[in-house]
Every structure is written in structure tokens, then in C-alpha cells.
């Protein structure tokens, strides 16, 4: 039987000998230090050897009992994965210095969950927490819980659609630490629910160290969530984040002191939270609400309203607050309330 490293080398050689790769490589600029990367005679090995777990896990099949909506969702997921691989091939051909990296992280994998598991395992590993262990941990979670995959797809779409700086799905998958931290936290949350708290907390610590994003493993996060930039985000143990929520950097969803129990904010669907906002206590941010950058929120915010300032106040007043029709978590509209709220003029 061939060793796994031999299998990797065979697949790598096959990719770089493919007609498409060879044809495209002849049209690229002459990078004198990188020509060997696209050579069909001496292909390079991946940056790191893939763990043996790649051979042991398989994606859950679609059964005859699945609904048509499930099948449609699977087709959509497959399209996103195909797009990611196409983008990675394009980038490998246009920038040979990245070819080996892109092969190791995306092109060598047969599914999105394998790619994410491999990438997270290598991002979060340490000298004592091995990448192979993390790879198996993530892949087992993704393959046994299809909702993790669908949530990842929704998050990828959220970043691509809402963030003008996101140039491709593969860019988000590889480089957006908010996206990566969110996927890793969902696995930590699954471990927490399985009463594997020590491992969940160890993973939580690595996520905070590597990505500068501190989300407690007990916190619940919906789908289609965008952590834009993500640096300095803190989410407490009993916090809940709904679907299609967008949260910018340095946002805190925290408690108010030493009291235990249910003590953190509940963010409903479609909410937008601006950079540097702080929301404290077991308060509810209603569906489609908007929290302005730098605001400090200590009480409930009604649906479809905007809260700004320190302490936060509702635009339009407490009795008859102004309401908007759009979903700010998706529209990313941060400033349309300004004319109603402030007479600040430059």
C-alpha cells in the first residue's frame, strides 16, 4: 500500500502536469525565483504534510429521505466549494509563489470541511497541541454535524456579499480571521454541549491567542454571521447571536459584574453592531436593530431601531423611535441615521 506522503506527491504531480495548468503557466510573467513551482518535471511538496485523518473520514451522503430543500442546499454548497477551488487555481497560476500553499490548503482537498479542518488545524496548533489532533477534531465535528458546514457556507456568503474588501470566497476562507474564529468557536461550542469543557476551553484559548477574538465556547452563534475585521471582539458565555448579524471590530457582548447565570446580551436576527460598541448585561437587541459605533448599550433596543451614543439613546426618542425598513445586518448601513440624530457639521 502506498504511504500517504506518496499519495500526496502523486496528486500534486498530477495537478501540475494537467494540461490546464501547463497551458496557463506559459502565459504568466517570468518569476525567476518561482519557476520551479509550476515545473512539470520537479513539482514541490506541499508546505506541510496532510494528516492521515484525510483518509479516514468521509462526507455524509445525501439519502433518498432528504427533502428537496436539503438537496438544493447541498447543490448550493457544492457550487461555493467549486468556486473556491476555481479561485485557488486562478491564484496559483497568476502568483506561483502561492501555488504550494494553495494546493495544501484548498486544491488537495475533496471537500470544504476537509479544507477548513486542515487550515484551522495548522492555524491553531502549538508545540503541545498538534495539528493532526486538531485536524481530526475539526473534521469529525464537520462530518458528523452537517449544520456546521451549512453555517460555514452562509458565513462565506455573508463576507462575500457584505464586505467590499472581500475579493473572493477563497480569500475569506484563507485570510478572514473573523470567519476562521467563528468556525472554530462552533466546534468548541459542540464540544461544550458534549460536556467536553476542558477541550472546549483549550480550543477557546488558542482561538483568542491566534485570532485576537474571544468568544466563549458556550455562546450560541447563528448562520450568515460576519465578524468584520474581528480584532478585539469579546462575546460572553451566555450571549446569543442570531442569523445574518454583522459585528465589527472591538465589539463587546459582556456581563455587568460578578453575578452568574444568564448575564450576556441576546442579539436577534439581522442586527448590525458598529465598531467599538459595548453591550452589557442580559439585554435584548431586537431584530433588525442597529447599534452605532462606539455606543454603550445597557437596556433593550427595540426591533428596527437605531441606538447611538454613550449611554446609548434611540434615534427619534424613546417614545417614538425612528424605524427603518432595511436589514442593517445585511445592508451594512452605518450612517443613514446621522441627519436625524446629530447637528454635528464639519
Query: Any idea what the CATH number is for the domain that residue 209 is in?
Result: 1.10.3130.10
Residue where a domain terminates, one of 156, 191, 213: 213
Question: CA 182 → CA 86, 141, 148, 319, distances in Å?
Answer: 24, 14, 10, 37
Q: Which residue's C-alpha cell is 468548541? A: 188
Q: Are residues 253 and 190 in the same domain?
A: no
- Please, how many CA atoms are within 13 Å of residue 134, restricted to the half-sphere of its CB? 26
Three-state SS string across 76-89, please?
A: HHHHHHHHHHHHHH
Say if residues 209 and 179 touch (Cβ distance below 8 Å): no
Does the residue 123 lie in any domain?
yes
- Apex 144 CA angle, 83 and 56, nearest 5: 80
pLDDT of residue 266: 98
Q: Are residues 200 and 231 in the same domain?
A: no
- Can you read off the three cell numbers belonging to residue 111? 471537500
Say if residues 211 and 181 touch (Cβ distance below 8 Å): yes
pLDDT of residue 52: 38
Q: Which residue's C-alpha cell is 494540461? A: 19
Q: From CA 301, how far away is CA 305, in angstroms rounded?
A: 7
Give the CATH number, domain containing residue 236.
2.160.10.10
pLDDT of residue 344: 55
Q: Are residues 203 and 229 in the same domain?
A: no
Does the residue 32 lie in any domain?
no
Nearest to 13 by CA among 24, 21, 25, 1: 21
pLDDT of residue 75: 76
pLDDT of residue 342: 62
Q: How many domains are there within the chain?
A: 2
Nearest to 138 by CA among 9, 42, 51: 51
Q: Are residues 162 and 92 in the same domain?
A: yes
Nearest to 109 by CA among 133, 142, 157: 142
Partner residues linked to 307 by β-bridges: 291, 314
Q: Are residues 154 and 279 in the same domain?
A: no
Q: Are residues 256 and 183 in the same domain?
A: no
Domain that holds residue 279: 219-345
pLDDT of residue 293: 95
Does the residue 3 lie in any domain?
no
Q: Are residues 121 and 190 in the same domain?
A: yes
Quickly count helices (H) and strands (E) in the chain.
12, 15
CA dihedral 103, 108, 109, 112 (to 10 degrees): 30
Q: Are residues 224 and 337 in the same domain?
A: yes
Nearest to 266 by CA among 245, 295, 249: 245
**3-class DSSP assignment, residue 306:** strand
Residue where a domain terminates, one of 213, 238, 267: 213
Q: Are residues 270 and 340 in the same domain?
A: yes
Does the residue 39 lie in any domain?
no
Residue where a domain terminates, one of 159, 187, 213: 213
Does the residue 20 lie in any domain?
no
Partner residues linked to 226 by β-bridges: 246
Question: Which alpha helices (H) appear in 125-216, and where do they start and end?
Answer: 131-144, 146-162, 169-175, 177-193, 197-211
Nearest to 235 by CA among 257, 261, 267: 267
Q: From CA 54, how far away is CA 117, in angstroms rounded?
A: 10
Q: Are residues 195 and 231 in the same domain?
A: no
- For 339, the enclosing helix (H) or strand (E) is helix 338-341
Q: Are residues 86 and 147 in the same domain?
A: yes
Nearest to 91 by CA among 168, 147, 160, 14: 168
pLDDT averaged over 10-residue windows placed end to end, the chain, 346 residues = 43 46 36 38 39 37 51 75 97 96 97 97 95 96 96 97 96 97 98 97 97 98 97 98 98 91 97 98 97 96 95 92 92 77 57
Radius of gyration of the chain (CA): 22
Does the residue 69 lie in any domain?
no
pLDDT of residue 68: 59
**3-class DSSP assignment, residue 46:** coil
- Can you read off the three cell numbers belonging to residue 147? 449544520
Does the residue 35 lie in any domain?
no
Q: Are residues 194 and 124 in the same domain?
A: yes
Does the residue 156 lie in any domain?
yes
Amino acid at each position: 500500500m502506498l504511504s500517504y506522503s506518496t499519495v500526496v506527491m502523486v496528486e500534486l504531480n498530477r495537478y501540475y502536469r494537467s494540461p490546464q495548468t501547463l497551458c496557463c503557466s506559459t502565459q504568466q510573467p517570468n518569476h525567476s525565483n518561482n519557476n520551479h513551482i509550476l515545473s512539470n518535471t520537479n513539482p514541490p511538496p506541499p508546505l506541510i504534510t496532510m494528516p492521515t485523518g484525510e483518509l479516514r473520514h468521509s462526507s455524509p451522503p445525501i439519502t433518498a429521505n432528504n427533502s428537496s430543500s436539503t438537496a438544493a442546499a447541498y447543490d448550493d454548497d457544492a457550487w461555493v466549494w467549486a468556486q473556491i477551488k476555481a479561485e485557488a487555481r486562478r491564484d496559483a497560476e497568476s502568483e506561483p509563489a502561492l501555488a504550494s500553499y494553495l494546493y495544501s490548503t484548498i486544491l488537495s482537498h475533496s471537500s470544504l470541511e476537509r479544507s477548513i479542518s486542515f487550515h484551522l488545524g495548522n492555524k491553531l496548533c502549538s508545540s503541545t497541541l498538534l495539528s493532526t489532533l486538531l485536524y481530526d477534531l475539526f473534521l469529525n465535528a464537520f462530518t458528523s454535524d452537517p449544520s456546521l458546514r451549512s453555517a460555514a457556507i452562509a458565513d462565506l456568503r455573508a463576507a462575500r456579499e457584505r464586505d467590499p474588501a472581500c475579493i473572493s470566497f477563497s480569500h475569506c476562507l484563507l485570510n478572514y480571521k473573523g470567519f476562521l474564529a467563528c468556525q472554530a468557536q462552533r466546534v468548541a461550542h459542540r464540544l461544550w454541549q458534549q460536556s467536553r469543557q476542558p477541550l472546549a476551553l483549550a480550543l477557546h484559548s488558542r482561538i483568542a491567542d491566534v485570532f485576537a477574538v474571544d468568544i466563549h465556547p458556550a455562546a450560541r452563534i447563528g448562520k450568515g454571521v460576519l465578524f468584520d475585521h474581528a480584532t478585539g471582539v469579546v462575546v460572553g458565555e451566555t450571549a446569543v447571536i442570531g442569523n445574518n448579524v454583522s459585528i465589527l471590530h472591538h465589539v463587546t457582548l459582556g456581563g455587568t459584574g460578578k453575578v452568574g447565570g444568564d448575564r450576556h446580551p441576546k442579539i436577534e436576527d439581522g442586527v448590525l453592531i458598529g465598531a467599538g460598541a459595548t453591550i452589557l448585561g442580559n439585554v435584548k437587541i431586537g431584530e433588525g436593530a442597529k447599534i452605532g459605533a462606539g455606543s454603550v448599550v445597557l437596556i433593550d433596543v427595540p426591533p428596527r431601531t437605531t441606538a447611538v451614543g454613550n449611554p446609548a439613546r434611540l434615534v427619534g426618542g424613546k417614545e417614538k423611535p425612528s424605524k427603518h425598513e432595511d436589514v442593517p445586518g445585511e445592508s451594512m448601513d452605518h450612517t443613514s441615521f446621522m441627519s436625524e440624530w446629530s447637528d454635528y457639521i464639519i
